[in-house]
């Protein structure tokens, strides 16, 4: 373990004290205030010949449902477990991944003490680093219980997470929601970047005992999960996502663009800045999205026709195979689709780290 990490651990006060989620500063997003979810939600649609069309902000005045979100591994704190002081490491992820959902639901996003990128990088370098994963789970459980006690008031809700956040939220669903009366208020759970196990060929009965996989856009009370890999870079034997080590179980995959199965266009919305760290390399994004050398004028962009996806049962993982449609004739300078990045050529076991998000909110909140 590096000397810097040891010194940081020694200087860090105890992380065992529980958080009070009645305090507003322990949340990145809450309804009715200006925070990480209050951003310009306009989207620039990039046309086949490079035309740029700005779509208006969809935010409703009185959304009918709530969204509870747990962000992925983001913290660059020097310790194995992050503190409760949010920086742009956390807020950028929330703004890019979750803020758009404020267009269809009331947003709730707690801060939690997660395993840091610093610790993950050290472990990838072969250093021995220990961490308490229970701390992050207990934080999210406490935030969830506080939300139910003070904010829910019988409203339907959607659960949204990614990567480490999806692992934490999956456990919360299993222990706090699955098979309990509160399950009746669940509209859907979106869990990209984790492995949700089901009996082979089944939609329920593994990690969740009564919450089924979503197989139709009209279905509610169900779960969506996928792990994204470029279809030209198949998951290797050491794949990290979409994997089951139980011989009678498989990792579920639901295509967010076509829940009933098969290939479909991924009309994804990309939020900028989308990534500043990486697990083992640093990627510095450009000042904005670029189309034919022109800056896209909004934080969010969509490129219809550029991507398509299909759930595949592979030799080593069940995954969402993302196809880059090179003949789409849509000019878009974007590192993830055009160049090898972490989770692709350099680290194929990471896949796309499930950064492909479907723009449709039909299964989310209506």
The answer to whether residues 50 and 332 touch, using CB atoms and an 8 Å cutoff, is no
Tell me the backbone φ, ψ of residue 25, rounded to 5 degrees.
Answer: -70, -5
Query: How high is the pLDDT of residue 292?
Result: 75
Using the predicted structure, report yes or no on whether residue 1 has a pLDDT greater than 70. Answer: no
Using the predicted structure, report yes or no on whether residue 354 has a pLDDT greater than 70. Answer: no
Q: Report the DSSP beta bridge partners of residue 42.
A: none
Query: How high is the pLDDT of residue 339?
Result: 47
Tell me the backbone φ, ψ of residue 48, rounded to 5 degrees.
Answer: -55, -30
Q: Report the DSSP beta bridge partners of residue 264.
A: 309
**Mean pLDDT over the full length of the chain:** 83
The answer to whether residues 100 and 362 touch, using CB atoms and an 8 Å cutoff, is no
pLDDT, tens digit, 9 for 90 and up, residues 21-45 = 999 999 999 999 999 999 888 888 9
Helix H segments across the chain?
3-11, 88-97, 117-124, 133-147, 164-172, 335-338, 362-365
Average pLDDT over residues 127-131: 89
Collapse the DSSP code of 306 into the 3-class scheme (helix H, G, I; strand E, B; otherwise coil) and give the result.
coil
The answer to whether residues 223 and 279 touch, using CB atoms and an 8 Å cutoff, is no
Query: How high is the pLDDT of residue 364?
Result: 45
Q: Residue 313: which region, alpha, beta or left (left: phi > 0; alpha: psi -120 to 50)?
A: beta
């Amino acid at each position: 373990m590096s000397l810097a990490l040891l010194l940081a651990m020694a200087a860090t006060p105890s992380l065992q004290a529980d958080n009070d989620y009645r305090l507003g500063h322990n949340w990145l997003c809450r309804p009715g205030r200006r925070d990480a979810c209050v951003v310009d939600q306009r989207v620039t649609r990039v046309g086949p010949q490079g035309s740029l069309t700005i779509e208006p902000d969809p935010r409703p005045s009185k959304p009918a449902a709530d969204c509870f979100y747990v962000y992925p591994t983001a913290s660059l704190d020097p310790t194995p477990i992050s503190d409760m002081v949010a920086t742009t490491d956390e807020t950028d992820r929330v703004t890019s991944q979750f803020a758009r959902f404020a267009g269809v639901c009331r947003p709730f996003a707690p801060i939690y003490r997660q395993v840091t990128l610093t610790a993950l990088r050290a472990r990838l370098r072969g250093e021995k680093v220990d961490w308490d994963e229970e701390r992050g789970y207990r934080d999210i459980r406490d935030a969830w219980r506080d939300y139910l006690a003070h904010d829910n008031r019988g409203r339907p809700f959607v659960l949204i997470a990614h990567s480490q956040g999806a692992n934490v939220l999956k456990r919360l669903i299993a222990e706090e929601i699955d098979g309990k009366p509160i399950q009746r208020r669940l509209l859907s759970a979106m869990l990209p970047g984790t492995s949700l196990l089901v009996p082979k060929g089944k939609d329920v009965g593994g990690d969740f005992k009564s919450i089924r996989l979503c197989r139709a856009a009209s279905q509610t009370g169900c779960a969506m999960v996928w792990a994204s890999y470029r279809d030209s870079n198949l998951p290797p034997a050491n794949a990290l996502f979409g994997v089951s080590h139980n011989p009678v179980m498989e990792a579920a995959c639901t295509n967010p663009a076509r829940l009933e199965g098969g290939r479909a266009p991924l009309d994804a919305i990309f939020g900028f800045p989308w990534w500043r760290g990486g697990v083992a390399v640093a990627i510095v994004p450009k000042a904005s999205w670029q189309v034919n050398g022109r800056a896209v004028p909004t934080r969010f962009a969509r490129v219809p026709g550029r991507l398509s996806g299909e759930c595949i049962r592979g030799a080593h993982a069940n995954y969402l195979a993302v196809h880059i449609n090179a003949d789409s004739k849509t000019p878009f300078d974007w590192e993830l689709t055009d160049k090898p990045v972490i989770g692709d050529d350099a680290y194929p076991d990471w896949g796309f780290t499930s950064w492909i998000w479907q723009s449709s909110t039909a299964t989310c909140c209506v």
